[in-house]
Amino acid sequence: MGNVVVVENKSYVRQNIITVLNSLDINLIEASNSVELFNELYKLKNNVDLILMETNLGTENAFEIMDKLRKKDINIPIIFLSADKKRSTIIRGIMAGAVDYIIIPCSDDILTNKIKKHLNLHKEENIEEKSLNINFKDYLTGELRKAAKGKYSVSILMLLLDSDNKDIVFDNSNIIYKELKKLFWETDLFVKFGSKSFIGVFPFASKKNVSVIKDKIDNLFIESKIVKENSFKIENISVTYPVDGSDMDTLLEKLLNNR
């Protein structure tokens, strides 16, 4: 049985989440703010497998709390919960080191499957459907270190999915992810981050190479039946090392502000 802490300042939202997750063989702990969170972590001696955290907790936010956790060397995987669909918030989640991002409200199945995936509760898991349950910042730091030593480019691409149809729930993003994944080499990292965003890291890819990748993605979206049926639209943003920056923070900041 795993320990999962739900950090949410609205009691009814916490209860809704706990009701949905009660079917899983996990121990659910509630916290409404950072003080309660750190108290629970102290009681459990940091023996927590996952934290679900609302990004906006009223007088504090998840990014500040995550910074406090990292300063205390507490490296528990965190999934952000938010109604905010803005690109800036999603990228800030990546920069903060979250392993996933759930846009709420979401279906019970999406929430349950996300928790199962990050707690490795699936009996069988298709590797192509994995979310970003790696420490992306650590991964990117390692790739940039290798690129500096080998003197080659590395490009980071973020793809955001949206729709003019406001009734769309992004359950079909798994299908789109599988189609997108086929465009890349096995050595490239291309993963889901949340239900409507994807991020890729492409070693040896210059800005010219990334333009080719973006063209492939655009063509896929033009031809894809699932895209047309759901009125999906995409936004591609990218940065390239070392042209756009020589360190991870600079590159992610530029990705955040890129237009």
Q: What is the CATH number of the domain that holds 149?
A: 3.30.70.270
Mean of pLDDT values over 78-93 = 82
H helical segments located in the chain: 11-21, 34-43, 62-71, 87-96, 108-118, 136-150, 173-181, 207-223, 225-230, 248-257
Determine contact, residues 39/68, Cβ cutoff 8 Å: no
φ/ψ of residue 79, rounded to 5: -105, 125
d(CA 46, CA 54): 20
* Of the residues 51, 86, 121, the one at which a domain ends: 121
Number of domains the chain is built from: 2
pTM of the model: 0.72
- Do 93 and 17 reside in the same domain of the chain? yes
Tokens 């965190």 sit at which residue?
78
Q: How do residues 184-209 score in pLDDT, each as one tens digit?
A: 887 788 888 776 788 899 999 999 99
Domain boundary among 121, 143, 159: 121
The answer to whether residue 14 is domain-embedded is yes
Q: Judge if 59 and 108 occupy the same domain.
A: yes
Of 25-29, 145-149, 240-244, the range with the lowest mean pLDDT is 25-29
What pLDDT, on the 0 to 100 scale, is given for residue 235? 84
**Is residue 101 located within the same domain as residue 26?**
yes
225 within some domain:
yes
- Percentage of the chain exceeding pLDDT 90: 32
- Which pLDDT does position 124 carry in this prediction? 43
Based on the fold, state whether residues 141 and 115 are members of the same structural domain.
Answer: no
- Residue-wise pLDDT for 138-157, tens only, equals 788 899 999 999 999 999 99
**Amino acid at the residue 154:** V
Query: Is 155 within a domain?
Result: yes
Residues 110 and 221 in one domain: no
Q: Which range marks the domain in which residue 184 is found?
A: 134-257
- Looking at the fold, whether 95 and 145 belong to one and the same domain comes out as no
